[in-house]
Amino acid sequence: HEPWDAPFYYTNLYMKDYDGEIVDPTYSYWQDVENLTEETVRKAYACYCGELTMVDTWVGYLLRRVQNMGLMDNTAIIFTTDHGFYFGEHGGLFGKMTLSHPQKKPYWFRPDHTWIRSPLWEETISCPLIINMPNLEPGVQKGLTSAIDLMPTVLDWMNIEIPPIVEGQSLVPMIKEKKLKGREFVISTQPITNAGAIVRNVDGQQRETIGSDTTITTNEWSLLYSIEPGQSWLYHLISDPKQQRNVIDEHASVAQDLHQKFVGYMKENNLNPDLLEPRLELRLDSNAKLPEPWKDRLEGH
């Protein structure tokens, strides 16, 4: 997590002439920030990689201690993270979301700005998941999972009944039976809100939300869904893993199918009708009617 300030010898692995500057993300397109250069973004990425290497090193020390203490045979270890980061991808994004006021200081220094459209591409939503459990054969499983699957996985492994209200599904069958492939689709989103909603953030500040986007992912496709007309994007992950070419016009039926999976999931989990209603439609036409209160809020920014 920012600030990325690992010891120099970690960052130097990725930038030999690193000068010690700590670069904070701007949560914007870096080109929109005065005096910010592509080289500065590369420096931030080197610091980020250095911090990842530091974490990797110290997790290794922790696991070695667990092993030396003879605890590996009765200890389950799950290693994952909450999201990734953009370092200039997709036109120059620098951060994990976008704000209404680009700045060089970290976002928590600005209580006055609002969250705006924050597309969830693979760089932010594709996260590592490493699970080590007693008597588990080493191996690699390919398949879609979600963070909400972790809690029922732990309960299942401990032979504790999973409450019926839990939305996630245990990964134990997938881990034990190598033939299982995981979820049919995964939904990635920030907290679902309507335009104008006030949300409290980790820094304690309350800020207005202008947009709340969602990504629906399968093994083959990724739909970046937006309530805004003409602002949903579709990518074929097999032929375009970097998500450079929006093919929603050529494959509108695929986009509609993914959107219906999203709608079905929201209904199945009894989403508040005020949040569900604006998301019932996939508006491919940029001239489509925008539901209230989104129209006034989006046109005002």
Which DSSP string corresponds to 88-146? S-TTTEEESS-BSS--SS-GGG-TT--B------HHHH---EEEE-TTPPP----SB--
With beta carbons less than 8 A apart as the criterion, state whether 253 and 284 touch: no
Going across the sheet that includes 186-189, the strands are 186-189, 214-217, 221-225, 233-236
Handedness of CA 243, 245, 251, 253 (dihedral sign): positive
Q: Give the H or E element holding residue 222.
A: strand 221-225
Euclidean distance between CA atoms 4 and 173, whole angstroms:
38
Q: Give the pLDDT score at 301.
A: 44
Q: Are 101 and 112 in contact (CB under 8 A)?
A: yes
Amino acid of residue 224:
L
Q: Positive or negative CA dihedral for 255, 256, 259, 261?
A: negative
| CATH at residue 296 | 3.30.1120.10
Q: Which pTM was predicted?
A: 0.87
Q: How many percent of the chain have pLDDT more than 70? A: 85
Specify the pLDDT at position 2: 84
* pLDDT-based confidence at residue 117 (cuts at 50, 70, 90): low
Q: Which of 47-56, 167-176, 292-301 has the highest mean pLDDT?
A: 47-56
> How many domains is the chain partitioned into structurally?
3
Examine the domain organization and report whether 128 and 210 are in the same domain: no
Q: Are residues 261 and 293 in the same domain?
A: yes
Three-point CA angle 176, 262, 170, nearest 5° = 20
Please tell me whether residues 116 and 25 are part of one structural domain: yes
Residue 140 lies in a domain: no
Residue 32 in tokens: 């929109």
Distance CA 236, CA 221 (A): 5
The mean predicted confidence, pLDDT, of the chain is: 87
Residues 128, 193, single domain; the answer is: no
Which is nearest to 291 in space by CA: 223, 210, 214, 229? 229
**What band does 146 get if pLDDT is binned at 50, 70 and 90?**
very high
State the pLDDT at residue 103.
Answer: 55
> Are residues 75 and 172 part of one domain?
no
Going by pLDDT thresholds of 50, 70 and 90, the confidence category of residue 274 is confident
Give yes or no: residues 113 and 13 share one domain: yes
Using the predicted structure, report yes or no on whether residue 155 has a pLDDT greater than 60. Answer: yes
Task: Give per-residue pLDDT as tens, 182-197.
Answer: 899 999 987 777 766 7
pLDDT value of residue 211? 65
| Dist CA 102 CA 4 (whole Å) | 19
Q: Are residues 195 and 220 in the same domain?
A: yes
Task: Decide if 89 contacts 121 (C-beta within 8 A).
Answer: yes
123-147 average pLDDT score: 90
- Provide the domain limits for residue 164: 145-182
Mean pLDDT (whole number) for 288-297:
60
pLDDT over 50 (residue 101): yes
User: Residue 193: what pLDDT?
Assistant: 74
Q: How many CB atoms lie within 10 A of CB 213?
A: 21
Per-residue pLDDT, averaged over 87-116, amounts to: 70
Are 10 and 72 part of one and the same domain? Answer: yes
Task: Count CB neighbours of 56 within 10 A.
Answer: 11
Nearest by Cα to 42 from 98, 90, 88, 93:
88
What is the residue type of 59?
Answer: V
* pLDDT higher than 70, residue 42: yes
CA 12 – CA 120 distance, rounded (Å): 30
Q: Could you tell me if residue 138 is inside a domain?
A: no
139 lies in some domain = no
Structure tokens belonging to residue 231: 């602002």
- What pLDDT score does 245 carry? 97
Q: Which residue has the higher pLDDT, 114 or 159?
A: 159
| Spatial contact of 116 and 138, defined as CB atoms under 8 Å apart | no
Q: Identify the pLDDT of residue 202.
A: 60
Of 107, 133, 159, which residue sits at a domain end?
133
Q: For residue 183, give the DSSP letter.
A: B
Residues 120 and 247 placed together within one structural domain of the fold = no
Give the per-residue pLDDT at 207: 66
177 and 220 part of one domain: no
Residue 36, pLDDT > 60, answer yes
Is residue 208 scored above 80 in pLDDT?
no
